Structure 1
Amino acid sequence: MTTSTDPAVVADTGRVDAHLAVHLLRLGDDALVLGQRLCQWITRAPAIEEDMALSNIALDLIGHARTLLTLSGRVDGTDRGEDDFAFARSDREFTNALLTELPNGDFAVTVARQLAYSHYAVLYYEALAGCADPQLAGFGERAAREVAFHRMHADNWTLRLGLGTPESARRMQQGLERVWPYTAELFDEDDVLRHLVAAGTVPSPAPLRPEWERRVAGVVTRAGLTVPAPAWQARGGRAGLHTEEFGPLIAELQSVHRQFPGGRW
């Protein structure tokens, strides 16, 4: 934080802090919402090993969300904590990418969603590990290692389904087709990100898209499947415009807090 009394410097620092708080909130919302979606597989996964695997991936993501949301509250000066962000906002106040809120569908849809998100998250957190802020860099390094296991899980299941039976391959291809229109939003760069990148605060995800496409295409091709080429791209999550299924997901997330406001466990 600057100690300068120059109004221009102070004002610019304030803008950077405000933009950084928004960016951290977006990343935290991505992790929180996807973690909540994966929690819906508990007791419903195809096998008990997958029940445990998806539960552990969800726990990692919720851990990422806790760190990111807490940091956002510190940076924006409100000192809001993780519970304030998770439980005291309306669905329109969440800024997650639409990909992370997509309904689980059958198992192949979940695998496709995990394939897209985990490859993106590894690349972005690795880039974040190189930023100047030691706290953000440390988080990025740790999160990248954890999400690398999520990526491996998604890669293995994509291959297993794609190279399995004709039915499993058909479902995996349909899962990719369902998910792919929602992937571009992960890499969008708006004024918030442009300001942060210009200030050298955080990296932009936009330059990572070609490498993401290369890595994901490699997995999909090895699985004997085809990378979708959607005719449309969904956007709006960063602005609080969500899918029809998002409201019930947030209601489920917040149900206990709303039933017992201020409860301590």
Structure 2
Amino acid sequence: MVRRPDPLPGEPPSAAPDLARYLLRLGDDALVLGQRLCQWITRAPTIDEDLALSNIALDLIGHARALLTRAGRLDGTGRTEDDLAYGRSDREFTNALLTELPNGDFAATVARQLAYTHYAVLSYETLALCADPDLAAFGARAAKEVAFHRLHADRWTVTLGRGTEESARRMRDGLERVWPYTAELFEEDEVVRRLAASGTVPSPAPLRETWLGRVTEVVTEAGLTVPAPAWSATGGRSGLHTEEFGPLIAELQSVRRQFPGGTW
């Protein structure tokens, strides 16, 4: 029988399973988006962008490792980061749908990065204020790292929006493609409400207004407008994913599936 870890100082015992699920969501966001960005390696428009996107992916996978490790300790199962990354089915992943969207062309990837990085910086900045010193330290570090990813996305949004007629069209299409998937980032459910009520971690819902103001500023500078989608995607947090997600996870887990139990 696996012993459930003791609660953190000041953390009610009942908060541990909820916090594990919350951290698993953040970890899945980072892991899945990191895997998507890895698909740009050798395919980016320039060598510089090949290196930039691969470095961003490495940062995200580093964030995923820290978050999944902590989630495995808190949920009482004793699972490691590798168990959670490579040993779950696609229905067990709880990432936001935005992070799993296919890369599309470069402008679509930039649009996805714009939406995610502005959200992630705000999310990690609030995590840096939580009572748990380890999570607070992680949140502060991750916020600084994702701030550089945000600068990269901001710069390319403006560059493409104010470039040629074709680049502006592609950037506009990219924004239209990803925007219906942004609302899910700020959804509240019972897990989030309980954590927020106990003061363990803050809810993401109040961050949406600040996020919208910041991305609007960038999109306006690019000479474009923020889309107003007629629908909003949801379900990722509950394990319901897009049809492109299965092949992505199969690719992520391919070596473990070929050599179960293998060590290197």
Tell me the TM-score normalised to structure 1 length.
Answer: 0.95
Inter-partner Cα distance in structure 2 for 1:214 and 1:181? 17
In structure 2, the residue matched to 1:236 is 235
- Give 1:177 deviation, angstroms: 0.1
RMSD over aligned CA atoms reads 1.3
What TM-score results when the alignment is normalised by the length of structure 2? Answer: 0.96
Match of 1:87 in 2: 86
Structure 1 unaligned regions, length at least 5: 4-8
- Give, in whole Å, the separation in 1 of the partners of 2:39 and 2:238: 25
How many corresponding residue pairs? 258
Q: Distance in 2 between matches of 1:14 and 1:246?
A: 34
The DSSP-based 3-state class of the residue aligned with 2:220 is helix
Give the Cα–Cα distance (whole angstroms) in 1 for the partners of residues 238 and 13 of structure 2.
Answer: 21
Partners of 1:58 and 1:2 lie apart in 2 by: 32
1:60 maps onto 2:59 in alignment:
yes
Is residue 43 of structure 1 aligned with residue 35 of structure 2? Answer: no
Q: Give the Cα separation in 2 of the matches to 1:51 and 1:136.
A: 31
Unaligned regions of 5+ residues in structure 2, if any? 1-5
Q: Separation in 2 of the partners of 1:176 and 1:2?
A: 42
1:31 aligns with 2:30: yes
| 3-state DSSP of counterpart to 1:13 | coil
Verify: 1:202 aligned to 2:201, yes or no: yes
Q: Which amino acid aligns with 2:170?
A: R
TM superposition outliers: structure 1 runs of 4+ over 3 Å = none
* Inter-partner Cα distance in structure 1 for 2:67 and 2:151: 23
CA shift, 1:13, in A, is 3.3
1:258 matches 2:236: no
Deviations 1:55-88 (A, max 9, x none): 0000000000000000001111122111000000
The alignment partner of 2:14 has SS state of helix
CA contact (8 A) 2:7 2:13 kept: no
Residue 167 (structure 2) pairs with residue 168 (structure 1):
yes
Residue of structure 2 equivalent to 1:180: 179
Identity rate, percent: 76
Alpha-carbon distance in 2 for matches of 1:53, 1:206 = 30
Q: How does 1:63-142 map to 2 (within 5 A)?
A: 63-142=62-141
CA shift at 1:2, angstroms?
Answer: 5.7
How far 1:143 sits from its partner (Å)? 0.1
Local SS of the residue matching 1:127:
helix
Match for 1:260: what amino acid? F
Report Cα offsets for 1:115-165 as digits up to 9, x if no partner: 000000000100110110001100000000000000000000000000000
1:206-253: CA deviation from partner (whole Å, max 9, x where unpaired): 001000000000000000011000000000000000000000000000
Structure 1 counterpart SS, 2:206: helix
